[in-house]
Amino acid sequence: MEILRLHLHTNRLPQLVTFYESVIGLPVTTSHDGLRAIIQIGSSEIVFEATEESAYYHFAINIPAHLLVQAHDWLQARVTLLPYHNQLIVPFPHWNADALYFHDPAGNIVELIARRDLAYDVPGIFSAQHWMSVSEIGLPVERVDQTNEALQQVGVPVYDGDNEQFSAVGDAHGLFIVVDREQKTWMPTHEPALTFPLEVIFKTMPGGKVFVLRLHQRGIEVAEMQIIT
């Protein structure tokens, strides 16, 4: 699965623009009215829209696995890394991956994940150019099983999980992290997995159909798209 675009809410848009553009070094485009910013992350985009209410999300970015140690040093020079069981490089052996976590200025729990199953043959010393694509987006819902079923109906398979409190739906390229918002918290922080409005534009496979997913308090809605706007 390929995540093409995330559309997220924030009440700290200026701080996010400064952080992702000046601290991280990603290309950022702001709208003329200053109410929206588009962050280019490799083949994906994250759109932050200004709102009065605060919101925070969990999302992950794919990085080349062979640059993991460089990514750790590079990131640690810019942010405070979040430990998990006293480890800053968090291993996921059953996913053949390792991850780094930090907060951005809006309180989003951001993860850089190095998946050894993805062969990114990119040279150079680690930088923001090695943020390859959006890898994961968290979906806190009331019913994990119903959410999984809705995603499977459009061709997104279950990757891992128990179908009750947690499921990862998709593949190594892109995953929906579906969690029971009453039972789960976001690792590594133990912050509540609260439901805030979001929109995801994704493909089930290369050259496949494009879908839009919208998350709200009642659950998700998924529909096929003809044109990305």
Residues contacting residue 36 through CB under 8 Å, at least 6 positions apart: 13, 30, 47, 48, 49, 50
Give the pLDDT score at 183. Answer: 94
Report all structural domains of the chain as residue ranges with CATH numbers, in order of start. 2-225 (3.10.180.10)
Other beta carbons within 10 Å of 8: 22
Q: What's phi and psi for 68, nearest 5 deg?
A: -60, -50
Q: Print pLDDT tens along the chain (229 aa).
A: 999 999 999 999 999 999 999 999 999 999 999 999 999 999 999 999 999 999 999 999 999 999 999 999 999 999 999 999 999 999 999 999 999 999 999 999 999 999 999 999 898 899 999 999 999 999 999 999 999 999 999 999 999 999 999 999 999 999 999 999 999 999 999 999 999 999 999 999 888 899 999 999 999 999 998 765 5
Give the pLDDT score at 177. Answer: 98
Give the pLDDT score at 121. Answer: 86
Give the pLDDT score at 97. Answer: 98
Give the pLDDT score at 207. Answer: 82
| Bond before 27 cis per omega within 30 degrees | no
Residues in a beta bridge with 141: 180
- The identity of residue 115, as a single letter, is R
Is the Cα dihedral 76, 82, 96, 63 positive or negative? Answer: negative
Cα 110 to Cα 80, 101, 135, 188, 205: the distances in Å are: 11, 6, 11, 10, 24
Give the pLDDT score at 226. Answer: 75
Burial of 135 per CB tally in 10 Å (0-12, 13-18, 19+): buried
DSSP state letters, 109-141: EEEEEEETTS-----SS-SGGG--EEEEEEEEE
List the structure tokens of 125.
Answer: 């010393």
The sheet with strand 175-180 has its strands ordered as 90-92, 97-103, 109-115, 58-63, 133-141, 175-180, 166-170, 158-161
First to last CA, the chain: 20
Give the pLDDT score at 48. Answer: 99
Taking every pair of Cα atoms in the chain, the longest distance, rounded to a whole number of angstroms, is: 46
